[in-house]
Every structure is written in structure tokens, then in C-alpha cells.
Amino acid sequence: MSDPIIEVMTIQKYYKTGDKQDRLVLHDINFKMYEGEIVAVLGKSGSGKSTLLRIISGLTEPTSGDVYYRGQLVTGPVRGISMVFQTFALLPWLTVLQNVELGLEAQGLSRNERRHQALKVIDMIGLDGFETALPKELSGGMRQRVGFARALVVKPDILMMDEPFSALDVLTADTLKSDLLDLWQSRMIGINAILFVTHSIEEAIAFADRIILFDSDPGSIRSDVKISLPFPRSDLDPRFRNQVDRIYTLMTTEPQETRIQEGMIDIGYRLPDVSIEEMTGLLEILNSPEHHGRMDLPILADTLMHNLDELFPLTDLVQILRFAKISEGDISITQAGKVFVEADILERKKIFSMHLTKHIPLARYIHNQLTRHPRHRALEEHFLSLLEDYLSEKEAENVLRTVIEWGRYAELFAYDYNSGVLSLESGH
């Protein structure tokens, strides 16, 4: 095989959390990318896949390790890598044409030359007629087309995409995907490789030659899966469905998963941001007569119209609380889960409260602290600073907010928004 275009060597990335301890977001990442490849990076949210993309393109620095682009050490943004963003990242004050011209401006091309090249790409990507429109006049799909045109006009060597379709509705995303694939296969755009981040298993399989599966906490490469289905790929093809099942199974046997299943989570575990209603809803579907308490994960995702980012936090929570179990890509309700969904509201609260203190160390810790305190009160800052030893400031806030919501539902503790004081529910 020829020389790699991108070579990532033992990348580590820490984020500063508070002042005591840094949080590891990327751990020992190694991989290579070759010419002509489409590579998908697939993982749960918060697994650091977007950070990896930014490190490779030179937008963020790694804490340690090196990235080489065509043999050159990357120390800053690389000319030759273009990125398409999930949020489009169009400059709202520039017209479509001006947005597309942006990269050319940086290259110092003359006004006429810029216009000429930009119009060519705008034509190719199906945006003609919209040259003078402002981004806010466009629909999401059209905006992302501008995002693509802007990235392509500088004739990049590698195209990077950070969840490019996840902000679009299904139909729009499908159209855009097939247009992009057509462009790629017709070699009209002169790109030599595509690297993209996604949390949709189907999307990864539909597009990629290789899927890099990401573990979370810390983000690391779990496995590198070759997809050799012929194009065009149809998600109705049984071989396609097989691959989907395979990836689901791989993802649910991550070491992280085992830890969850064995109840090994610690106090600083990044609790999934899931509401009680969502969790109850999931258990009710599982427990409904047509499913007999057991479902295939891809089917569950379809039923809930969820992608990985939304599905996995839910399945994590029901597993942590021992209301359901996952094995080999199937989820099944436990006895406790059955009792929980079949109970009435008050009974549910009692069961939930029991499971919460038993299986979630943070909830248990808060409850213990409050019980011990002479007036059964504590400031939220106290727990926040504890969490910040493990998590970033924002994540710590999210986790605390989540656990407070659960605790209030379980009537384990009360919370006053204005003063930020947690206290024991009377009666406990």
C-alpha cells in the first residue's frame, strides 16, 4: 500500500477540569488513512471523536502525540484539509456566494477569479439561483450544501465532516448523502479521502470503507472494521442488516459496557442525561405484549426513532439501575424492571428510589451526606466541586442536574433553585 495521507501516532488529549485533575478525553489513538478511502469514526456522544477530527486538521493541539499529514508534522491548521460542520458554521452576514468565496479569499485570489471558481462549485453542488441569498433564507439542507461548496471550492486533499447530516431531517439527509456519494464516485471533486464522524451506524455503513469504533471515557479506538459491501448500498439488503447487527454487538460489548453491566461505576461517572419519563417509556415498550420483554437494539432504535446518541444514554441508565440487560445486541427487561413498570406511580417512586441509592454512587453519596449533616442540608457547590475532579465544569453541572432531577423524583432529597441548597426530603 502507498504512503498514508494521515498518520496519527499515540495521541492523548486531556482537558482541564477545575484545577486539581485533568480529564483524559482521548487515549492512545493510532491510525492511518490512505488515499481513496472513506473512513467513518463511530462512537457515543462525548467519546471525543469530534476532538480527534479537530486534532487531525490542526485546529486543536493534542496534549501529546503527533499527527502527520503527508509526512509533515501538523502544528496548525492544514491547508488541504477542509471541514464540514454539524452546525453548518456559515457566516450569517455573508451571502451564499461570499460564504463559498471565503477560503479563496484567504488564498489571495483576485475578486474575479474567486467569483469564477465559486460559481463553478455552486453549480456543481446544485445551489445555483441562491448565490445572493443569505444563509437564514435557506432550509437546513441547502445550508449544508453551502457548507459543502465552501469546503470543496478550495480543492481540498481530504474532506472532513463532523456529523454533517445529524442536524437535518431524514429525507434531506438522504438526498444530500447520495449527492455527495455521486460526486465522490464520479471523481468530480478531486478529493483524495474523506474522514467523517457520525453516531449513526447506518450512515457509517452506507458510506464508509472502514469504520473506526470509538470507546468512551476515555475516547479510544475499540476496533477498526472494514466494510466491503459494493456500492450502491441499500439498508434493506440483508448483508447491510448483518453489518448493522455486528456493529451494535461490538458497541455493546465495549469494556465500558461491561463496567456498566457489572455495576462498577464510580461516583464521578458521567451519568446519562435521561429523564424518568423516557426511561419509563422504554421499559413500557419492552414490557409490552408484542415484545415479550426482549428486543433487538436496531429495531428498538427504529421504534423510538432514535440514533445512537439518544439511544445509548437510555440503555445505559436502565442497565445501571438493573431494570434491563443487554447482551449480543439484544436488550431484555429484568424482573425488577418488570415490577417497576407494572407498579403505580407511588410504588414506582419507591422502587426507583431503592435502585437509585443502591446502584448510583453519586445519589447514594449525596443522600448520605445529607443524612449525616445536622440540619440535613448541603450546598450544591460542594457536590459540584467533587464532580469537577472527574469531569469538565459543564459536564459536572449536567451530571449534578440529572442526579438532582432523579433524586427529586425519587423523593430522596429536595432542592432549592434560588439558593442552590440540597436538603433531605422530610419523611426520610
Q: Summarize as ranges the residues that interact with another protein (CB under 8 A).
A: 54, 57-61, 69, 72-83, 85-87, 89, 91-94, 102-103, 105-108, 111, 134, 136, 154, 401, 417-418, 420
Residues 423, 376: contact at Cβ < 8 Å? yes
Residue 69 or 269 with smaller CB distance to another protein: 69
d(CA 81, CA 245): 33
Minimum CB distance to another protein, residue 420 (Å): 8
d(CA 420, CA 145): 45
Q: Residue 161: helix, strand or coil by DSSP?
A: strand
Residue 78 or 213 with smaller CB distance to another protein: 78
Provide the 8-state DSSP code for 148.
H
Bridge partners for 198 per DSSP: 42
Minimum CB distance to another protein, residue 259 (Å): 28
Pairing of the two strands 158-162 and 81-84: parallel
Residue 76 or 289 with smaller CB distance to another protein: 76
d(CA 402, CA 387): 13
Minimum CB distance to another protein, residue 216 (Å): 20
Q: Residue 239: helix, strand or coil by DSSP?
A: helix
Bridge partners for 9 per DSSP: 66
Provide the 8-state DSSP code for 219.
B
Please provide residue 418's backbone torsions phi and psi, each rounded to the nearest 5 degrees: -70, -45
Residue 49 CB neighbours (<10 A): 24
Residue 105 or 123 with smaller CB distance to another protein: 105
Minimum CB distance to another protein, residue 275 (Å): 13
Cell 458554521: give the residue.
89
Residue 123 or 381 with smaller CB distance to another protein: 381
d(CA 265, CA 365): 13
Minimum CB distance to another protein, residue 203 (Å): 20
Cell 476532538: give the residue.
51
Residue 151 or 317 with smaller CB distance to another protein: 151
What strands lie across the sheet with 413-416, from one edge to the other? 377-379, 421-424, 413-416
d(CA 175, CA 172): 5
Minimum CB distance to another protein, residue 117 (Å): 14
Residue 77 or 232 with smaller CB distance to another protein: 77
Which three cell numbers mark 420? Answer: 442552590
Minimum CB distance to another protein, residue 113 (Å): 12
Residues 96, 132: contact at Cβ < 8 Å? yes
Q: For residue 402, give every residue at least 6 positions away whose Cβ sits within 8 Å of its Cβ, in sequence order, or none.
A: 271, 272, 273, 274
Residue 51 or 220 with smaller CB distance to another protein: 51
Minimum CB distance to another protein, residue 92 (Å): 5
Minimum CB distance to another protein, residue 136 (Å): 6
From residue 375, give the alpha-carbon distance in Å to each of 281, 285, 382: 37, 42, 16
Residue 244 or 386 with smaller CB distance to another protein: 386
